[in-house]
Each structure stands twice: as structure tokens, then as C-alpha cells.
Amino acid sequence: MAFDPTATAVVVVDMQNGFCHPDGSLYAEPSEAAVEPVTALVDRGREAGASVVYTRDVHPPEQFDETHYYDEFDRWGEHVVEGSWDAELVADLDVRDDDHVVEKHTYDAFYRTDLEGYLDAHGIDDLLICGTLANVCVLHTAGSAGLRDYRPVVVEDALGYITEDHREYAVDHAEWLFGETATRDEVAFAAE
């Protein structure tokens, strides 16, 4: 599966302390285990000339105070609260000044963010999507990307999750819905 690095972004979803660090509010061991494969994919993409995008799930403390239905704090408990250590990207990621960081407030990294504008401004059509959680923010972001006519490819061995069946569901659903998933070994860049 070959990608033109000038039209490709590696999109790293929510690799934050709250999900990936043992002291995080919604820590899952497989999310911590995903840090190394995500970093390896980012390194390969960056070396080939692909763009790198990190998303951060961030919730202002009052975000769900007056909502009618959507309340992540009710569903998951308080997590990745704005300004907290929990909301920071994990220290093992090599986030650079020319990487783009998207702050989002829902599962979908496109919803009310600048992600689409950034991708369009940089001529990016193909997205290699990795990160956590596979069946929540990764899958919602991939679905939203497909609806916007980007090519979302979920990188199945660079995903965090709570249980293995969640990862399997996300990969199967992405493959069924978009027709494209890949392992890191199946991803090739034109410059490689």
C-alpha cells in the first residue's frame, strides 16, 4: 500500500497521559503499548516527508454542564480536563514544531476543529490513522474523514484499546466501511 508523502498525513489520535500513562484517569495498558508502534510509524512518515498531526481530546470542566444528551463525563467520568496533566500528550512522543496539534472536544477530530482546513491547505488527501481508542476516537475520526472525501487508512497494529474485541471491531468496521486498513509493514511511502 503505497502513499505519496506530500499528500499524506500520519494522524495520531489522543495519545495522552489520561489514556496511555498508568496514572491516567482512563488508562488502558494496550494504549500504553501503542506508544512504540505509533512512534515508529510517525518516524517513518516524517522521514519520508509526510505531515504529522496529533489530536488531543480536551474537555473544559464545564463542557457538559448544560448539555441535553451528550455527556462524556457521565459516560466515562472526568478525564483529560483542560489544563491538566491528564490532557497532555505522552512524553514519549516526538512532537515537533512543524507538526500540527488539533485540540478536540468530542470523539471526532473533525468536529468544530481546524483539522479539515489544515489538511486542505497542505494538499493532504490520504490519512494514516493510528492512536487510541480504536473503537471510539480513532473510528469516529476515520469515519468523519471518509465522509469528507479523504482516504482514511486505519493502521491496525498501531492502535490502543480497552479490550482486544474493541480493536477487532474497529478494524473490521473500518475495513467494511472504507475498505482500507493496513499494518505498519504494509504501509510504504513513495520516498522509501
Are the C-beta atoms of 125 and 151 separated by less than 8 Å? yes
Q: What is the DSSP letter of 163?
A: S
Q: What is the DSSP letter of 173?
A: H
Q: CA-CA distance, 179 to 105, in Å (whole number)? A: 28
- List, in order of start, the domains of the chain with CATH numbers: 2-189 (3.40.50.850)
pLDDT digits (tens, 9 = 90+) for 114-166: 999 999 999 999 999 999 999 999 999 999 999 999 999 999 999 999 999 99
pLDDT band at 192 (very low <50, low <70, confident <90, very high): low
Q: What is the DSSP letter of 151?
A: E
Per-residue pLDDT at 105: 95
73 SS3 class: helix
Tell the burial category of 60 from Cβ atoms under 10 Å away from its Cβ (0-12, 13-18, 19+): exposed
